Amino acid sequence: MDAVKNYSDKPANPREIKHICLVTAVISFILSGSQVLLDPVINSDGILYISTAYHLQNDDWQTASQQYNWLFFPLIIAQLSSLTGLSLEYSAYILNAFFTAITCTSFLLIIKEFGGKDKTTLWFASLIILCFPNLNEYRNLIIRDHGYWAFYLLSCYFFIKACQQTSIKSILLLLTSSSMATLFRVEGLLFTLLLPVFTVIVHSSSLNNKTKLTVQALAALLVITLVYIASGDQQVKGFTKTSQLEHALEKPFEKIEQSIEITKSYIEDLSPQGFSNKYAPTILACTFILILITEVTSAISPFYALMLLMGFLKQNDFQKHPFFIPWIYLILINVIILCGFLALRFFLAGRYPIPLALILLIPLPFIAVIIYQKFQNKIFSLNQVKLIKFTAALFAILSVDGLISMGASKIYLKDAGQWIAANKSSHDSLFTNDQIVSFYATGEHKNRIRETSFKKVLRKIEKGQLNKFDLLAVQLDHKNFDKKPLLFKLMATKPLKIFSNRRGDSVFIFKS
């Protein structure tokens, strides 16, 4: 599409590009900070990372690797906490804000390499990535994905640079950034292996012998490193997840075979004659594709997806862009990764398709510039102008919605845990059926507990199995609120303290 060309007679100079990137990074930090302030409650995965980081901070590698076998993210949390004196939880929030800022600025750099060298396109790119709902949704969550997204997108930037001109420097930068992504999520290994291969194949005829030998040496070094890691000691295995990588490569094929057999059994129930069994693989494939399309559309956000679709229907020159094939290559690698997740679990967690969504967003700033320039030049009809204004208003509403959670607050869980921590003695034992309450009540050194359902809690109270605890902090959600009288009856005492949110979810703290 024409949007991949520069739309300004005067492209932004390096200083202006740095200014736009800096402003984007600063706004990203502000957004991350505001999200934490609005919802300052740790998530379940965060409890695991913080607990692991605590053991690493105290040089207890054995316990840390038993809790979690992918130690890089907890390690840098522990290191930052030791350097700054901040708590492990706030150190994790700072790291995530830093990584998200890298993600946003890397997106701008990719847009620049695709031809968006003018300020208008770069500012639109900044607006789009900063308002991206599904990225903002995870800003306040302590998850390793923030680090993965940052270095993954940075490796995509160096990949595009290497596709322009392959050199030892570009390959090294590509390998370094993709290897860093691998330290956060094992999927990064695919990019570490496949992206340099693509660049070398594309430029094989133009590379000199010295560069070819260097690339071959780097490839050999990478293979040797992987072999060493596979046979390394326990401390190294804590960083590598080698056994899980082997499992991840083998398990999808086993799962697909099992799923086909299950589908055949289901078809036989519908059609006992067995004539339709041959359609089982096709039915399974269609289901996979439907789940994939639905989840990817959701990850992009339906609004962004619709804008992309309309842009491609109206303009098709993007296929002629010199980076169209590398763009498709990145999409295919991400689709392969998502298919692996689908085969293993038959579902996709909401954040899994985000790396693909970030790549699919690349044409969007160019589409926005086309619309903006036509609007400025008054090319649109009156009805089209009304549609554009409506679209802009919808974009603003969805952007705000992505930053402000409309769900019920979980701060009551944090308040309950902190109240327990402040009021219980060091000798008091605690039972709770909520991970967040347990974390704030017992401290960073405790691993996340396995939550007990409310029905099981009632049975344990009835059987006297919880009498050994000095304090009971029972979380009751609004769906089970009709069971509150039964809880009070079994406890035969009033709670010391009650913490609730506006929806009616509560934590009742009893003294045995």
Distances from the Cα of 84 to the Cαs of 102, 122, 193, 250, 512, in angstroms? 21, 34, 36, 43, 40
pLDDT digits (tens, 9 = 90+) for 135-146: 999 999 999 999
The dihedral over CA atoms of 434, 439, 441, 442, expressed in degrees to the nearest 10, equals 120
Token pair 């009805």 in the structure block, residue: 383
Whether 231 shows a pLDDT value over 80: the answer reads no
The dihedral over CA atoms of 322, 159, 154, 114, expressed in degrees to the nearest 10, equals -10
pLDDT, residue 233, reads 47
The CA-based angle 59-63-65, given to 5 degrees, is: 95
pLDDT digits (tens, 9 = 90+) for 348-394: 778 899 999 999 999 999 988 888 888 888 787 788 788 888 888 88
pLDDT digits (tens, 9 = 90+) for 283-302: 777 888 888 888 888 888 88
Helix, coil or strand: residue 74:
helix
Q: DSSP H helical segments within 165-316, as ranges?
A: 168-184, 188-202, 209-230, 234-240, 242-270, 280-300, 302-314
212 — pLDDT class (breaks 50, 70, 90): low
User: What is the phi/psi pair of residue 452, to 5°?
Assistant: -95, 135
Helix, coil or strand: residue 509:
strand
Q: How close are the terminal C-alpha atoms of the chain, in Å? A: 70
Q: How many residues does the chain have?
A: 512
**Distance in angstroms (rounded) separating the CA atoms of residues 421 and 443:** 8
Distances from the Cα of 34 to the Cαs of 30, 31, 265, in angstroms? 6, 5, 51
Helix, coil or strand: residue 132:
coil
pTM listed for this prediction: 0.86
Q: Which residues neighbour 299 within 8 Å (Cβ) at sequence distance 6 or greater? A: 134, 350, 353, 354, 356, 357
Q: How many CA atoms lie within 13 A of 453 on its CB side?
A: 5
pLDDT digits (tens, 9 = 90+) for 378-387: 787 788 788 8
> Computed from CA positions of residues 212, 213, 217, 220, in that sequence, does the dihedral angle turn out positive or negative?
positive
